[in-house]
Amino acid sequence: MSIAIRAGDNFVVEIDFDRSEVYPPSHYAKNFVRILSEQPLSGMTVLDAGCGTGVLGIAAAKLGATVTCSDLNPGAIRWAEINAEKNNVSIHCVQSEGIDEFVGRSKFDLVVCNAPSNPGTYNPVVTPRDNGPDGRQFLDSVLVNAPKILHRNGRLLSCSNSEQDWNTTRDILNTYWASYRIVADLDEDFSGLDQFSEDQLKAWVQQGHCWTEGDVTVHNVRYFFAYH
């Protein structure tokens, strides 16, 4: 399949994917691309941690950054390489679990991470590792470890949704980072993500993580920069 992610009038990232091999770009990716497109990234070094199809790293590369993409899924690495070529940009791809691989070896100006954010092994084909019972496993490891791989004035761009408990995210940000800034606080149609069954969505509503508006299920997502 192919999808074009647009930001503003002139910025577009073209992404190909096979959803049996890699997590497809979702509404999260669209928001990240818009936020990235508003940043002065020319000449910056960027790590796209959990790159999936490479959409965020490729957006950063199109904006002039030198980009490394990493993911534990070998299918993601393959598609990130295919998509970099499709968008005429060069990226460096590394298959790795978490970001420990880079500690003591590389430093970046920006780490961008659209981490898996839902409890359980909701998509065992694409992401064969459990996200942990509360859907925080990769996000938390990035929140704790990204300061170790950032330059002195480096930043993390990530997000946290209402299924994950914002207070936990806020507490980790306050512990490991000098400051943080929420750049987008969005209530979004969550039922559009077709990897979740009706029953799963209903369960999250019952647990108070999401809510319904008419026919759709809605959740809240906060996108933030954390400053080292």
Ligand X SMILES: C[S@@+](CC[C@H](N)C(=O)[O-])C[C@H]1O[C@@H](n2cnc3c(N)ncnc32)[C@H](O)[C@@H]1O
Q: Taking a C-beta distance cutoff of 8 angstroms, is the pair 70, 95 a contact?
A: yes
Comparison of 44 and 56: residue with beta carbon closer to ligand X: 56
118 near ligand X, rule: CB under 6 A: no
Find the binder of ligand X among 52, 119, 135, 154 (CB under 6 A).
52
Q: Enumerate the β-bridge partners of residue 7.
A: 11
The reply on whether position 82 binds ligand X by CB under 6 A is: no
∠ CA 201-210-186, rounded to 5°: 125
Query: Residue 25 or residue 119: which is nearer to ligand X going by CB?
Result: 25
What is the DSSP code string of 70-86?
Answer: EES-HHHHHHHHHHHHH
Residue 23 binding ligand X, by CB under 6 A: yes
Counting contacts by CB under 6 A, is residue 163 touching ligand X?
no
For the CB of residue 22, give the shortest distance to ligand X in the complex, in Å: 6
Q: Is 151 in the site for ligand X (CB under 6 A)?
A: no
Q: Which long-range contacts (CB under 8 A, 24 or more apart) does 193-202 make?
A: 193/26, 193/27, 195/122, 195/123, 196/118, 196/122, 200/122
Stretch that binds ligand X, among 44-52, 58-66, 200-208, 215-223 (CB under 6 A): 44-52
Whether 182 contacts 223, CB under 8 Å: yes
Residue 202 is a binding residue for ligand X (CB under 6 A)? no
Amino acid letter for position 64: G
Point out which span in 72-80, 86-94, 103-111, 198-206 binds ligand X (CB under 6 A): 72-80
Q: Which of 92/153 has CB closer to ligand X?
A: 92
User: Considering CB under 6 A, how many residues would be counted as binding ligand X?
Assistant: 23
Determine, following the binding rule CB under 6 A, whether residue 61 of this chain makes contact with ligand X. no
Kindly state whether residue 83 participates in binding ligand X, applying the rule CB under 6 A.
Answer: no
Q: What is the rounded CA–CA span in Å between residue 112 and residue 142?
A: 10
Residue 16 · residue 82 · CB < 8 Å:
yes
Return the closest-CA partner of residue 84 out of 121, 59, 49: 59
Quick check: 138 binds ligand X (CB under 6 A)?
A: yes
Q: Which residues bind ligand X (CB under 6 A)?
A: 23, 25, 28-29, 32, 50-53, 55-56, 71-73, 76, 97-98, 114-116, 127, 129, 138
